[in-house]
Structures are given as C-alpha cells and as structure tokens.
Amino acid sequence: MSTRETQRIDARPPSSGLVIETRGVTKRFGSHVAVDDVDLHVAEGARYGFLGPNGSGKTTMVRMLLGLVYATRGEITVLGATVPNRVADVLPEIGAMVEGPAAYPHLSGRTNLALLDASGPRRGRDGRRRQRVEEVLERVGLAAVDRRPVRTYSLGMRQRLGLAGALLNRPRLLVLDEPTNGLDPHGIREVRDLLIELNAAGTTVFLSSHLLAEIEALCTTVGVVDRGRLVLEDALDAVRGPTGRLVVRTPDPDGAARLLGRAVAERHDHTLVVDAAPGGPSALARHLVEHGVPLDGLAEQRRSLEDVVVALTGPGSDTARAREARA
C-alpha cells in the first residue's frame, strides 16, 4: 500500500494520441491479485518499456491487452477499440509475442508462418502470402532456414521465428513480451536495431522485460510494475534527470574533501559526490584547480533507471513475497 500514487512527472501525451490506454485494470486469479489497478498510457510512436521483476504481473497485463485474459475490473482501450469486446477488430494491426515463441514442432518454420498467416483474416491472395512470409523471415535473419522442422531449432531461432510471426501483419503496434530471451548479444543488438527501425517507420513498440539494460537501451518511455501495481510511468529522459549534484573524480580526494567541507555528500575512493554550488560545474572546477586539487573528471550526476526502480520497488518482489509468506 506504500506506493499507491504512481510517480508521474509530466510529458503525458494527449489522450487522443494513445494507442494503449487502461484505467483501473485489475486481474484476480482466485485470491491472488496479479494486476492491481493499473493505468497505462502508451503514446502513438513511442517505444514503451514495461519493466518489472519476474512474477510482477507483466505477462498477465500483456495478455489482457491482447484479449487472451479477461480483466476482473477496469477498462482497456487498444488502438481505439475496447478490449476484449472489440479486440478482434484491431488485432490484425497488432503484432504480438507473448511469453516466448511457440510453433508446431513437426512443421518447418516457413510452414508455421504460412499456417499462421492463413489462419488470420483473409488478406490478399496466396501468392502474396509466400512473399510476406519470405519478407519477414528476411527481416529477422531467418531467410536461410530450410525445411527442417521447428523441433530442431535453437531457442534463439525460435525467438526469431516468433518475432517473424509478430511482423507478418505489418503491425501498427508491436506488443513484445521478453523478446530477447535466449538470444546471444549479437542477436539482441540485431533485434534492437530492427525494433528501432520499425519504430522509425511509425510502429509503436510496447516491450515488456525484466532486464533494465534492455529497456534503457531501447525505450523512450518506461512503465515500472511491481507486485501488480504500476509504480512509475514516465519518459525515460525525465526519469534519468539530473540530481543537482556533481561527481568529482580526483587523485587527491582528501584535499578536495578538505576544501569542499560540508558540500561533500558521498565519498568513494577517488570519487566525491558534491552538492551543486552556485556557478555550476565550471565554477567548481575553477575553485578546485585554483586551490591545487587536481581533477580527473567532473560531471553532473544523473539518476540511473536502476536507482529509481530500486528506490520504488525495494527488494525483488519474489524475495519480498517469499518473506511475506514466511512471516
């Protein structure tokens, strides 16, 4: 109950430009509340990172957005359609990957995609279908796959195949749940580049992950979920704003500390964190140099996403819950 209020700073896009909007969405499985009163706002054209530890309700939320799981309470609007009633109208414009890829193991990747494509609403002729399938295979780097059944694929290949399936529709909105699971660093980079490219072409990307670094590297907006609640939703730049302190690196930390006195907030080896003085970094630099303290570096301190998340969520929710259970 401690973080009831979602921390919001500003920059909420006007509601007309939202591709995903939820109000008070709650999902209960029996007595367990998986998602609790979540308001999401995903702007058109954004790269939205939905961040939370494992078991925090991310996947349930993603399933609710796609109409797979029905919300116990609350309203969901995706691409202007209410979910789940009218979700079928907009699903053709959504590409999705939910909780890992899945395919018919005895069929080849190409056949899987063709079947998936054929089972959707009718679009275009069969000739174009083959072309579409080749196109997406190319995009995810699977153009060279042969007739091997999916059963023989590595996890990374399956992940790429799943991504290919999500791209089949040329979606306006991509909803991806942990899309880089099982990929090597090279693959992760490729996927990230692909998503940025698609986003540049106008696709809104909604990406859920438990990996901070991934979100930080890719997203423009971040929503943080903890134990079913949304604890933060903001533009990434705003989250990582300056703290008003300066970070000083010097070979003579003692001299600097003596000189700056009470302004030093923290000290680790050769690094001091200093409350900003009037005049900003340049004034401080001059002050130190003039008093004979050599400088290796001086920068504004910025919050890291990690700091923010840890501050908001406390210990990992799995351990927290385990502790609760024990108590």
Interface with another protein (CB under 8 A):
60, 63, 66-70, 87-88, 91-92, 94, 96, 98-107, 111, 115-116, 118-121, 165
Nearer to another protein, 56 or 250 (CB): 56
CB of 294 to another protein, least distance (A): 60
**Cβ(38)–Cβ(264) under 8 Å?**
no
Nearer to another protein, 81 or 145 (CB): 81
Phi-psi region of 10 (alpha: psi -120 to 50; beta: other; left: phi over 0): beta
The rounded distance, in Å, linking the Cα atoms of 303 and 150 is 44
Nearer to another protein, 15 or 54 (CB): 54
**Single-letter amino acid code for the residue at 56:** S
Nearer to another protein, 105 or 294 (CB): 105
The rounded distance, in Å, linking the Cα atoms of 186 and 192 is 10
Nearer to another protein, 91 or 248 (CB): 91
Nearer to another protein, 34 or 239 (CB): 34
Across the chain, how many H-helices and E-strands are there? 12, 15
The rounded distance, in Å, linking the Cα atoms of 220 and 237 is 7
CB of 108 to another protein, least distance (A): 10
CB of 222 to another protein, least distance (A): 24
The rounded distance, in Å, linking the Cα atoms of 212 and 98 is 19
CB of 314 to another protein, least distance (A): 27
CB of 78 to another protein, least distance (A): 11
The distance of Cα 38 from the centroid of its chain, to the nearest Å, equals: 16
Nearer to another protein, 113 or 260 (CB): 113
- Counting Cα atoms < 13 Å in the Cβ hemisphere of 45 gives 7
CB of 94 to another protein, least distance (A): 7
Residue from 74, 60, 76 nearest 225 by CA: 60
Task: Identify whether 84 is preceded by a cis peptide bond (ω within 30 of 0).
Answer: yes
Nearer to another protein, 30 or 202 (CB): 30
CB of 118 to another protein, least distance (A): 5
Helix axis angle, 155-167 to 185-200, nearest 10°: 10
CB of 277 to another protein, least distance (A): 56
The rounded distance, in Å, linking the Cα atoms of 192 and 179 is 10
The rounded distance, in Å, linking the Cα atoms of 177 and 62 is 7
The rounded distance, in Å, linking the Cα atoms of 158 and 68 is 22
Residue from 84, 133, 140 nearest 107 by CA: 133
